[in-house]
Structure 1
Amino acid sequence: MGRTHIREFHDDDLDAIVRLWEELNTPTEQQVYSLAEVIASCREDHAVVAVRDEQVVAAAVGRAAHAQGWIVFFGLSEAARSEESVSAQLLDALERKMAPLGLSTLSVLMPEGGDRLDALTTNGFQMRHRLRYLERQMPVQRRELDLLKDVGGRILPRHLWENVAGMRQEKQLLEERLVAPLAQPDLADRYGVVPPRAVMLFGPPGTGKTTFAKAVASRLDWPFVEVFPSRLGDGPAGMAASLRGIFERIGQLEHAVVFIDEVEEIASQRRGDPPSPTQGVTNELLKLVADFRDREGLLLVCATNFVRALDAAFLRHGRFDYVLPIGLPDAEARRAIWGRYVPGGIADEIDFEVLVARSEGLTPADIEYAARRASQEALARALRSRAGADRSRAGGADGADETGRAAGAPGDTAAELTTSDYLAALEVTRATVSETDIHSFLEDIDALARL
């Protein structure tokens, strides 16, 4: 048996390090860093190997982040473990290689149950107790960032799902039909559930279909890509080509929720001769939906205010897994919407139950308008009070009451927001959704919904 010596990593050593990583990555001792990360650090960061009889028998790989050094792989083959000095020489060599970086510490994360702790603790590494290792996967890998930007996609903030208050029936449907099968494919497979590929959301305008689509993307931690029919091209041929092109680019992403709002613009009923100007686009979209269904990791969400205007071929089984209704906000949702726009300083003085009851039948946008209108009226009232107070002070004591305070000065409760102000704003707020719209929506649920 030849002498073991330590040297820097060479590109020719990569296969040996892969074999060593695979040998040590067992079900009972899984490596903290993936093989791809170890390979990347071998090539771009710092690595040393132990060689015996021209064979790599051990390796140490490190990377630096600011003043912190991390060992991303420390592995000894069975043959190397019998020679106690190998681990010490290997760690010392890696430390010397990284020392010029000005590191303050060199750290290592080890899987529980590993048998390499002694090799580390006898070489100056100290065990830190009461620590937990946490990680999360990035929604988009580096190689996809430019592509995501090219298709107009973005990563949405987490917790959008939790921020959708109320609407429990709609959320339960989306959770059970969309989120769970896509987020837990193994569980879905156990029950014979095929993860969805395309879903249609329908309902009156302003009911939150876009909000729900974004919430699903946030819940899945997938990028969100919105396709705007109005931006696809000038002529019918250009629109079809643009639509096909953007779907081809989206198809290169590993994961994405693709959203098309007001899809009726490019998927309306096709009517005989002469063909409608958008018939070619509708035909193209039907083909794309069929192709889309063959891709894992992608979900197409279309939304429409006029589901009965869609081409019949769109709603057939096999294109959209579900056709889900999204209605007006329920009482819990309306309470949350009011809470979003009522200033926190006066919230305890506002009768939210009255506002919730009086805003039944309004969309989230309607409620926002009423809340903002009430706030604007209160601000205008306060400004008028301040102007009156200024005039009173300029006119002397004639404008003051017996307490010496100018009537209508700031701080007067008349300038504060009250429940009556919100009710007054509701009186002049026109409902976006009419009784006729609601009746039609209920008919559409009976005729077209697929839950």
Structure 2
Amino acid sequence: MTDTVEDVEMPYDEGSASRQEKIESLQDELDVLESQNEEMRDKLLDANAENNKYQQKLERLTHENKKLKQSPLFVATVQEITPDGAVIKQHGNNQEALTEITAEMREKLDPDDRVAVNNSLSVVKKLEKETDVRARVMQVEHSPDVTYADIGGLEDQMQEVRETVEMPLEHPDMFEDVGITPPSGVLLYGPPGTGKTMLAKAVANETDATFIKMAGSELVHKFIGEGAKLVRDLFEVARENQPAVLFIDEIDAIASKRTDSKTSGDAEVQRTMMQLLSEMDGFDERGEVRIIAATNRFDMLDPAILRPGRFDRLIEVPEPNTDGREIIFQIHTRKMNLASDIDFDELAEMTPDASGADIKAICTEAGMFAIRDDRTEVTLDDFLEAHEKLQQDDESGADDSLAFA
């Protein structure tokens, strides 16, 4: 039976309270109860939200636990597609098996595809092509900020590089009209610091092709076959992203003259070079992939890598002459605050044996002398002192090398 007003305990003294006071007291009590009810409703909503969050976490952990308990999938290569299914070869044990495949999977698969198979050797899914992640990392995403305008004294070399690398990619029709095959590779050789790497950077900046850079020493590995595999993957990445330019710096690290050495290290380097020769001028078409290589030790290179078809142009990058040094000084001082007494012709005359890298070092050192004297203007004396300091450093380095020889 529902309680009446008389059965409810009132928050006032019935004898002394008036009717209005009773109503106000009941209203206050009702407000309190409504507030408490609203608070409990909010707590219930929070509890439901927390419960949903934990429920989702439980489902995720249950799913992950189920996946961890599943048997691992094995990697295999499709050898052949037949009416009865697919012939696959497992990696590791090289066992071959004929397994049935679904109609949907049959449309996706081709010979040499990598697939994942379960314990019963059923094809579960198709995998991406195997390409060494190190080869992917060597792909340059952002063009260097070096342009041909930043290179001085190498006008003839720049012209030959552009004809060999850029023109076949940008104007292949010109070579077709003339009836010749575009050069496929260019080798830059010369003393250190003469601008070989800068030429490659300028090519990367000027062309819209994919640019892949690496050093020859990165292809030298300890275990048999690793270097050759990386070479294959590099050219595979280049072919997938053609037109492409592949730059190999310090190529003498893997392309030195072959000897009768029986050590495992020398044998592995020679195997890597054989793979490089095969990729450069092998049975398979290389496509729109141009190669630039650089070395300081031209005399160490194997004759096999120098023949036409691999490197069609051998470009010597010499130390700059007087006019070249003057241009290089002007390039490296473009952003410097120079005094009016600077004579670039005099600077070029006083540095007869300086390379481009040496001139850049002289300009930087001259700026440091100005900063040391708390000046914002670089004078001719700063350049003279910088040249003298670098000469002393070179002589000191030569003496130290003799002392430890």
| Equivalent residues in 2 for 1:311-350, closer than 5 Å | 311-342=302-333, 344-346=336-338, 348-350=340-342
Summarize the Cα distance change of 1:420–1:230 in structure 2 as closer, same or farther, 3 Å threshold. Answer: same
CA distance in 2, matches of 1:228, 1:221: 22
Kept after mapping to 1: 8 A contact 2:188/2:314: yes
Summarize the Cα distance change of 1:433–1:248 in structure 2 as closer, same or farther, 3 Å threshold. Answer: farther
Deviations 1:53-92 (A, max 9, x none): xxxxxxxxxxxxxxxxxxxxxxxxxxxxxxxxxxxxxxxx
Kept after mapping to 2: 8 A contact 1:154/1:225: no
Aligned residue number for residue 266 of structure 1: 254
Where does structure 2 lack aligned partners over 5 or more consecutive residues?
1-132, 396-405
CA distance in 2, matches of 1:245, 1:375: 45
Summarize the Cα distance change of 1:173–1:233 in structure 2 as closer, same or farther, 3 Å threshold. Answer: closer
CA distance in 2, matches of 1:432, 1:156: 34
Match of 1:284 among 275, 278, 297: 275
Match of 1:426 among 361, 369, 387: 387
CA distance in 1, matches of 2:324, 2:296: 20
Match of 2:238 among 221, 240, 250: 250
Summarize the Cα distance change of 1:242–1:225 in structure 2 as closer, same or farther, 3 Å threshold. Answer: same
TM-score, normalised via structure 1 length: 0.52
Match of 2:346 among 354, 360, 383: 354
Summarize the Cα distance change of 1:428–1:250 in structure 2 as closer, same or farther, 3 Å threshold. Answer: same
More moved, 260-269 vs 270-279: 270-279
Percent of aligned pairs with the same amino acid: 31
| Equivalent residues in 2 for 1:30-429, closer than 5 Å | 150-156=137-143, 160-232=147-219, 234-237=221-224, 238-274=226-262, 276-277=266-267, 278-291=269-282, 294-342=285-333, 344-346=336-338, 348-382=340-374, 416-429=377-390
Deviations 1:199-244 (A, max 9, x none): 2111111111111122223333222210223333631522222222
CA distance in 1, matches of 2:320, 2:141: 27
Aligned residue number for residue 70 of structure 2: none
CA positional deviation for 1:347: 5.0
Aligned residue number for residue 402 of structure 1: none
CA distance in 1, matches of 2:286, 2:327: 37
Kept after mapping to 1: 8 A contact 2:217/2:254: no
More moved, 283-292 vs 356-365: 283-292
| SS of the residue 1:268 aligns to | coil
| SS of the residue 2:290 aligns to | strand
Quote the RMSD (CA, aligned, Å): 3.0
CA distance in 2, matches of 1:159, 1:300: 19
CA distance in 2, matches of 1:303, 1:432: 27
CA positional deviation for 1:328: 1.5
| SS of the residue 1:251 aligns to | helix
Counterpart amino acid of residue 260 in structure 1: I
CA distance in 2, matches of 1:273, 1:357: 47
Kept after mapping to 1: 8 A contact 2:164/2:185: no
Where does structure 1 lack aligned partners over 5 or more consecutive residues?
1-145, 383-410, 435-451
Counterpart amino acid of residue 308 in structure 1: D
Kept after mapping to 2: 8 A contact 1:156/1:223: no
TM-score, normalised via structure 2 length: 0.57
Kept after mapping to 1: 8 A contact 2:164/2:186: no
More moved, 288-297 vs 262-271: 288-297
Summarize the Cα distance change of 1:272–1:159 in structure 2 as closer, same or farther, 3 Å threshold. Answer: closer
